[in-house]
Amino acid sequence: MKHKRFSQEQIIAVLKQGEAGMPAAELCREHGISEVTYYRWKSKYGGMEINEAKRLKQLEDENSRLKRLVAEQALDIVALKDVLSKNW
């Protein structure tokens, strides 16, 4: 079975339908998603507007980039300490 990727705009549109009173089971059947996926989306994007979701994605990307930088610097520090600790 092929997995579908939904854009943030599509996810928010699905959640808006749910907020408008459409039952979750019917929503999931209509969009071809599981109820688990629907509730996961609801916990992450519930009550958000499209611009807020885009900002969230930007912040998540920036956070992951910064975490990689910190990890690389920590490795560099460990390597430098190893080199400096050796007696020449």
Contact assessment for residue 3 and residue 33, using Cβ atoms and an 8 Å cutoff: no
Give the model confidence (pLDDT) of 27-83 as tens digits.
Answer: 999 999 999 999 999 999 988 898 998 899 999 999 999 999 999 999 999 999 998
23 — pLDDT class (breaks 50, 70, 90): very high
Q: Examine the pLDDT at 88 and tell me if it is beyond 80.
A: no
Residues 6+ apart with CB under 8 A from 70: none
Tokens of 35: 């109820």
Q: What is the pLDDT of residue 15?
A: 94
Per-residue pLDDT, 86: 81
In this structure, are residues 42 and 18 in contact, taking their beta carbons and an 8 Å threshold? yes
pLDDT of residue 85: 87
State yes or no: pLDDT of 1 exceeds 90: no
